[in-house]
Amino acid sequence: MTAATDSSTRVVGLPSREADDANGVPAYVWLFLGSLVFNMFSGYSNYLGFPIGPDRILFAGAVGLLLLDPRVERLRFKPVYVIMAVLVVWTACSALSHGVLLETAKAYALLDRIIVPFLMFCLGPLIFSTSRRRVMLLKTLCLIGIYLGLTAIFEIIGPHALVWPSYIMDPNIGILFGRARGPFASAEPNGMTMGLALFASSILYTKLRGGWRRVALVGIVLSALGTILCLTRSVWLATIVALLVIGYLVPEIRRRLPALIASFVGVVAFILLAVPPIANPLIERFTMESSLYDRQNTNAAGLRIVAESPIFGIGWGRYLDIGANWIRQADTYPVTNINIEIHNTFLSRAAETGLPGALMWILCVALGPALFLVVNRPARSSERFVWWLMLIAATCYWFFPSMSSPNPYPLPNNLFWLIGGIVGRQLMVLPRADEIAAGVPEPTTAAAVVGSDEGEI
């Protein structure tokens, strides 16, 4: 196989799929990355002047071009695909039988909470099939973290005039005004995304050199600050657990854990002392009980629904419409809010689509991204290892919000499934015919493709 070299990319003895990028990354990769960026504004694109979300157009374009590319690999058959398809049909039938399938909010919920995440899982290993593309994804997450981190600082500390888009500063748009909400107009997805950007930036900082190493350092600092300023306990818990688990698995990080923890405590202390307006909200978030009452009330209502209608539930997306019928005043805590969803994703699925729907959802997670945490564990010397670490972080940022909120947020959910697919690439993708003929093994490092300022990753 020939070697190709230009001013920015060196290709040495590459498998054919790595050589595909020698003369440029396919357009569908750029479109897909663009869809992730614009996905931050999902639901609020009208405030940017778009009649329809650009992320949806870019995503559709990326999928279309991917399907037209004759070099694209094919997925192996996996039982989880059947379960995913059955779950989509089951949920759609649930919505149809209750006459809500054509309601805009319910239809978009089905698309964003189930269908698109499953597509992300399948598309991840196909779109990000080369090391160069996977580095591009990490860089995109790093830049997203920088934007969200800066926006969080401008939201909470100021100057507010620098917050963009301006709808972020409108208390009548979104929820939980007063926290760092970012373009999501909600603190939890903002923190979840910045948390993933924090780990992506950390990988880039340790693996790259030159200008991108400095950019990654900025990403680490701003993403870390943003996860604090979002004032969301599920995000804080996910960050701590992900750091401890990864620290346990990676000796280099384990040795630095005391310093990292001390730095985190120091940053929080500095914010409390240097930014008085933050002190009270930060302390309030540590001690707030009303949101715990909300979770207890909605979860108890969800359990009553499951007991009353265990097979079919009350219908997809209908809890907000009729869930108050199952709210009861408890003896030990008050009813503070009834116009919210069930604050546990798994219980929410059971209440709305019945136990079969919840079981299929759990199986999709268990046989999808979660499976690749425990099978085919990569060697520490392989590129897959850093993506396996990213999947650990993504799982934390997905699991803890899922256990304590409805977790309806498109971007962080999509990233969890996308990263799961990337990690499972070796088990999910059939080798290409030209690679089989050449007897080319799956590469174990990203040394195959390196830019002028990139190290191995």
Distance from the Cα of residue 276 to its chain's centroid: 32
CB of 106 closer than 8 Å to CB of 95: yes
Cβ(292)–Cβ(332) under 8 Å?
no
Residue type (1 letter), 225? L
pTM of the full structure: 0.89
133 located within any domain:
yes
- pLDDT at res. 329: 74
**Within a domain: residue 305?**
no
- Token pair of 43 as six digits: 């639901």
In-domain check, residue 422: yes
The closest alpha carbon to 418, from 90, 62, 22, belongs to 62
Residue 317: inside a domain: no
The residues with which 308 forms a beta bridge, in sequence order, are none
Closest CA to 205 of 195, 213, 194: 213
Q: Are 425 and 131 in contact (CB under 8 A)?
A: no
Both structure tokens of 316: 């997809």
In a domain, 83, yes or no: no
In-domain check, residue 440: yes
Total structural domains within the chain: 1
Residue 26 in domain: no
- Determine the distance from the C-alpha atom of residue 162 to the mean position of all C-alpha atoms in its chain, rounded to a whole number: 26
Domain region containing 227: 103-288+380-451
What H or E segment, with its residue span, contains residue 259? helix 257-274
Give the closest residue to 94 by CA, choosing from 293, 365, 338, 356: 356
Distance between CA atoms of 146 and 201, rounded to whole angstroms?
A: 9
Tens-digit pLDDT string for the chain (457 aa) = 333 333 333 334 444 566 667 778 999 999 999 999 999 999 999 999 999 999 999 999 999 999 999 888 999 999 999 999 999 999 999 999 999 999 999 999 999 999 999 999 999 999 999 999 999 999 999 999 999 999 999 998 889 999 999 999 999 999 888 889 999 999 999 999 999 999 999 999 998 888 999 999 999 999 999 998 898 889 999 999 999 999 889 888 888 888 877 877 777 777 766 766 666 666 666 656 556 677 788 889 999 999 999 999 999 999 999 988 998 876 666 666 677 899 999 999 999 999 999 999 999 999 999 999 998 788 887 889 999 999 999 999 999 999 999 999 999 999 999 999 999 999 999 876 656 555 555 544 333 333 333 334 5
CA atoms of 409 and 394, how far apart (whole Å): 14
Would 126 be classed as within a structural domain?
yes
SS3 annotation, 321-376? HHHHHHCCCCCCCCCCCCCCCCCCHHHHHHHHHHHHHHHHHHHHHHHCCCHHHHCC
